[in-house]
Amino acid sequence: MPPFGSALVMLLSLASLATSCTEQESNSLLQFIAGLSQSSGLTKSWQNGTDCCSWEGISCSPERTVTDVFLACRGLQGFISPFLGNLTGLLHLNLSFNLLSGDLPLELVSSRSIIVLDVSFNQLSGDLPDIPSSTLARPLKVLNISSNIFTGRFPSTSWEVMKSLTLLNASNNSFIGTIPTIFCVNTPYFAVLELSYNQFSGSIPPGLGNCSLLTSLGAGHNSLSGTLPDELFNITSLKQLSFPNNQIKGSLHGISKLINLVTLDLGWNELQGNIPDSIGELKRLEEIRLDYNQMSGELPSTLGACTNLRSINLMSNGFSGELTRVNFSTLTNLHTLDLVLNNFTGKIPESIYSCSNLVAPRFSGNWFSGQLSEGFANLESLSFLSIGNNSLTNVTRALQILSSCFCPK
């Protein structure tokens, strides 16, 4: 055969090999489906002897290597096969919103290729495997294991080898112990940490202050105690800070450093002190929840400088003084205002009636006095009002005013 003829045969052979996935990848996927008790019709396309790149939920690279397995919301039941770890080119694995049970194979968490692993909203249980710190660095960027039944102590060494991790969501499980301090020491791009609805205890680790790119930090509904560490206020990139339903004490004296903060949720804790005047420096703040704490003092006038505020919840504290200190007319985006069960006095300020987007103001359980203004009629979005247990003198007239708000225009 002429030289060019053998070369042509070789090219044709290589082209033939590149038209389908490898037998190893096909077998690995078939091992996965074999471990399912309910595959929701996947077997119709997942057939042995066919190209797995054409199977439902599978995507491949131009070289016919499996890169994506997307099987979310399929009603899958059974176990997750560790053979999925044999897909050496796999980048994205999404098995969320199914009924999968058993453990999460170490082969997936420690994969040399996976960058996004999402097994949220399943029934996975047991301990989350901890990768030895001696392991070579892994490329995982996004790990979402939220809304499962994982138990035991949260891994501590795994994060040392995940140097590219940007998002970790382990909320709504039953992890115990303390929050690891290793975050951000070896993962400089770490941006989102969500640990809410678990059984974490102990204090908030000051080491989180090393997460200079962190934008969202949530660990509400746990048993955390102690104070908010000063180091936390050095994370100027932070947009969401959420620790509701814990036993956190202390004050908000350093909160003004978080200049990019959008949501502050520290409700149902044991915070004391007042809202500092420096709160006005948080120009991007949209939601502030400090309900059910032990805070006191007057509301700072600078609160009116937070012009993006949509929701204020200060329910069940010891705040006092007159609301007239705050110019509510600057808060044109305000949607909800909850001041129930405090010690506010004086009149309900006229400036509140400039908040045309206000839907549900709540003033009950205070010491407000005087008369309600006819300005209430300006609250075009009003759908709920709570004014009981105060010392207002024109309630009948107020009802007449309010009735006009609901008449067809």
Asked whether the beta carbons of 139 and 165 are under 8 A apart, the reply is no
The DSSP-derived string for 87-128 is -TT--EEE--SSEEEE---HHHHT-SS-SEEE--SSEEEEEP
Q: What is the pLDDT of residue 401?
A: 65
Residue type, 23: E
- Percent over 70 (pLDDT), the chain: 92
Q: What is the pLDDT of residue 398?
A: 65
Tens of pLDDT, residue by residue over 259-278, are 999 999 999 999 999 999 99
Least confident of 276-280, 390-394, 403-407: 403-407
Take residue 266 and report the two structure tokens written for it. 């520290």
| DSSP conformational letter for 392 | E
pTM of the prediction? 0.90
| CATH of the domain spanning 21-127 | 3.80.10.10
Strand partners, 193: 168, 217
Q: Is the pLDDT of residue 335 over 60?
A: yes
What is the pLDDT at residue 379?
85
CB-based contact 96:144 (threshold 8 Å): yes
Please give the distance of CA 392 from its chain centroid, rounded to a whole number: 41
- In 237-303, the DSSP E strands lie at 240-242, 247-249, 263-265, 287-289, 296-297
Tens-digit pLDDT profile for residues 242-261: 999 999 999 999 999 999 99
CB under 8 Å to 190, separation ≥6 — which residues? Answer: 165, 166, 168, 183, 184, 211, 213, 214
CA distance 165 to 192: 9
Q: What is the per-residue pLDDT across 91-114, written as a single tens digit (0 to 9) for each?
A: 999 999 999 999 999 999 999 999
- Phi, psi dihedrals of residue 238, rounded to the nearest 5°: -65, 130
Q: Taking phi first (over 0 means left), then psi (-120 to 50 degrees means alpha), and beta for anything else, what does residue 22 get?
A: beta
8 Å CB contact between 68 and 87: no
According to DSSP, residue 370 is labeled: E
Check residue 405 and give its pLDDT: 58
Which tens digits make up the pLDDT trace of 37-96? 999 899 999 999 999 999 999 999 999 999 999 999 999 999 999 999 999 999 999 999
The predicted pLDDT at position 15 comes to 42
Residue 27 reports pLDDT greater than 70: yes
d(C-alpha 287, C-alpha 47), whole Å: 52
Cβ-contact 214, 190 below 8 angstroms: yes
User: Which of the four pLDDT bands, split at 50, 70 and 90, describes residue 160?
Assistant: confident
- List b or e across 294-307, with b for residues whose CB sees 16 or more CB atoms inside 10 angstroms: ebbeebbebbbbbe
* The two structure tokens encoding residue 178: 């303390």
Average pLDDT over residues 321-340: 96
Instruction: Pick the closest to residue 38 from 75, 13, 9, 67 (CA basis).
Output: 75
User: Is the predicted pLDDT of residue 3 greater than 70, yes or no?
Assistant: no
> Beta 287-289 vs 311-313: how paired, if at all?
parallel
Amino acid letter at 189?
A: Y
CA distance 99 to 75: 6
| Biggest alpha carbon–alpha carbon distance for the chain | 108
Domain boundaries along the sequence of the chain: 21-127
Cβ atoms of 226 and 204 within 8 Å: the answer is yes
pLDDT tops 60 at residue 239: yes
Two tokens at 353? 């009636």
pLDDT at 17: 47
- Do the Cβ atoms of 303 and 327 come closer than 8 Å? no
